[in-house]
Amino acid sequence: MSTTPSKASKKNESSDLSNELNYEQAVAELEKLIQEMESGKMPLEENLASYKRGIELIKLCQKLLDQVEQQVKIFEEE
């Protein structure tokens, strides 16, 4: 039995985050995580959890930026 999350559950993680955070909030949390990780004071397990959260936040930011880019393209076509 594998404990690796399925693609569907990974997609749900991104959807869950987009319901919780806007772009600015995600970037702020990501910046905070980076500062904490760069301090070198985090235990390894916490560092790994922060890394995983950072990946989720980056994916959310990219998704939100892609959505805005699509909106801009639509406006430009009008």
**Tokens 């980076």 found at:** 34
Q: Residue 2 has what DSSP assignment?
A: -
pTM, full prediction? 0.74
Q: What's the pLDDT tens digit per position in 24-51?
A: 999 999 999 999 999 999 999 999 999 9
Rounded average pLDDT over 9-22: 68
Sign of CA dihedral 29, 35, 41, 47: positive
Separation CA 73–CA 27 (nearest Å): 24
- Tell me the two tokens of residue 3: 């404990």
DSSP strand E in 14-73: where?
Answer: none
